[in-house]
Amino acid sequence: MSAAKRSPPFRAEHVGSLLRPEALVQKRYDVAAGKATQAELTPFEDKSVEEVIKLQKDCGFHAVSSGEYTRHMFWGTFFEELNGMKELQLGVLKGYDSSMFRDYAPDVKSFMEAKEIPNAVTVCTGKISHPGKSSNEREVELLKKLVPESEWKNIKITLISPSWYHFRYRNGRSYPKDVYANDEEYFEDVSKAYQEELKILHGLGIRNIQIDDPNLAYFCSDAMLAGWKADEGNDKTADEMFDAYVKFYNKCFERPSDMHIGIHLCRGNYVGSRHFSEGAYDLIAKKLFQDLNVDTYYLEYDTPRAGGFEPLTHLPKNKNVVLGVITSKFPKLEDKDEMISRVQQAADFIAKGSNQSREEALDRVCVSPQCGFASHAEGNALGYEDMRKKLQLVRSIADAVWPGQP
């Protein structure tokens, strides 16, 4: 990526969600409790998004997001607003029971150990189709109003992974059997809905999409894999399921040639800076990097739980990686020189796999926090100024490694 290029991914990146102002969080809870109206919430959202765009600009970032301030949770309402999907009241399983969940799925396991119902209960009740209007339209239009038209292509819109409401439910429980006979039929309709969403967003001027995906990283977890193997209800091995997901995702991500798609492999980002899963990328790296049709991978590399950089030897020459070497979970600042060294180490593995020099490999590398700062409403265990310093550190590392590049 040359210094003049102004397309994502940029050398300094973030993963979309940013800490929400307390007033915004409280107002949204007031709306949920019936103490305020959506009309009263909207001005809080508008003002907060305007301020967080300024923060991103002040920190030297070229890709801008809304901070996900128009959402309560990172996954938004894409699935919830599809025809054929129904969101149940949080904590209430009407006509369902907890046995429908994979109790070995890392996030579900964590909730059940805490004796909590999984944090979102949305189920398929009929044939799935796109309603014809994007659930992200308000977010898009607000961002377009707040940045120059020349920068619309840099706006980052995040979408939940296609398998979000498939992986967490046991085999055959993601949909009624009288609606879909098997996963393939379900995947086909979800794919069409994603394709329509991308088409609509493209028509609105959006060119930069990030898929937030916890599920693929779960296939790196030994505990999850052991649970999968012990589940007698599965009709696919974990490897076969991963392959099916890659094929499914590729169908979902069919898109115009000028639309950039990145995928963030998340290991969990919950209240109190909790994570849910561990495991190196080695088990999935080759298929992930070579078979999945995305342009960029946003990878968590802030702690040893993600393993080393060796799997990056499988990264093809036409794809990028954003190294999440800065944690978004805690306030302590990383050592800048150490992080620069880590970026260079990663580039050496990429170079080895591609038979390139370090400098050539670095052309496909960027740097970011490892995850969002507030995937869920309350955010991680750090303050707003801590977040600012983290973003400034990311920019400083990028300036040192790639002088003069965005």
| 98 vs 293, residue with greater confidence | 293
Looking at residue 75, what DSSP letter applies?
T
What's the average model confidence in pLDDT over 231-239? 97
Choice among 55-59, 101-105, 204-208, 351-355 with the minimum mean pLDDT: 101-105
Predicted local confidence at residue 78, as pLDDT = 96
**Amino acid 2: pLDDT:** 43
Residue 128 lies in a domain: yes
Asked if residue 216 has pLDDT above 80, the reply is yes
Distance CA 294, CA 253 (A): 8
Nearest of 217, 264, 295, 292 to residue 369 by alpha carbon: 264
pLDDT cut 90: percent of the chain above it: 81
Which CATH number characterizes residue 98's domain?
Answer: 3.20.20.210
The confidence band for 4, taking pLDDT boundaries of 50, 70 and 90, is very low
pLDDT at 89: 60
Containing structural domain, residue 27: 22-401
CA–CA separation, 86 and 79 (whole Å) = 8
Decide if pLDDT at 65 tops 70: yes
The answer to whether position 286 is within a domain reads yes
Which burial class, exposed, middle or buried, applies to 372 when counting CB atoms under 10 A from its CB (0-12, 13-18, 19+)?
buried
With a cut of 70, say whether residue 118 has pLDDT above it. Answer: no
Whether pLDDT at 96 is above 90 = no
pLDDT of 57 reads 98
Per-residue pLDDT, 127: 98
Residue 273, pLDDT above cutoff 70:
no
Closest by CA position to 129, among listed 196, 65, 69, 71: 196
Q: Is residue 39 part of a domain?
A: yes
Residue 375 to residue 350: CA distance in whole angstroms = 29
Number of domain units in the chain: 1
How many angstroms separate the CA atoms of 8 and 320, rounded? Answer: 10
Q: pLDDT tens digits for 14-55?
A: 999 999 999 999 999 999 899 999 999 999 999 999 999 999
**pLDDT band at residue 13, thresholds of 50, 70 and 90?**
very high
Higher pLDDT, 58 or 7: 58
Average pLDDT estimate for 252-268: 94
3-class secondary-structure state, position 393 = helix
Task: With respect to residue 3, please indicate whether it lies within any of the assigned structural domains.
Answer: no
Question: Residue 157 falls within a domain, yes or no?
Answer: yes
pTM metric for this prediction: 0.94
- Asked if residue 8 belongs to a domain, the reply is no
Residue 277: per-residue pLDDT: 64
pLDDT value of position 211: 98
Q: Is residue 237 part of a domain?
A: yes
Let me know if residue 9 belongs to a domain. no
Q: Are 13 and 366 in contact (CB under 8 A)?
A: yes
Q: What is the pLDDT of residue 357?
A: 98
Kindly indicate the confidence band of residue 100, based on its pLDDT and cuts at 50, 70 and 90.
Answer: confident
Q: What pLDDT is stored for residue 1 in this prediction?
A: 44
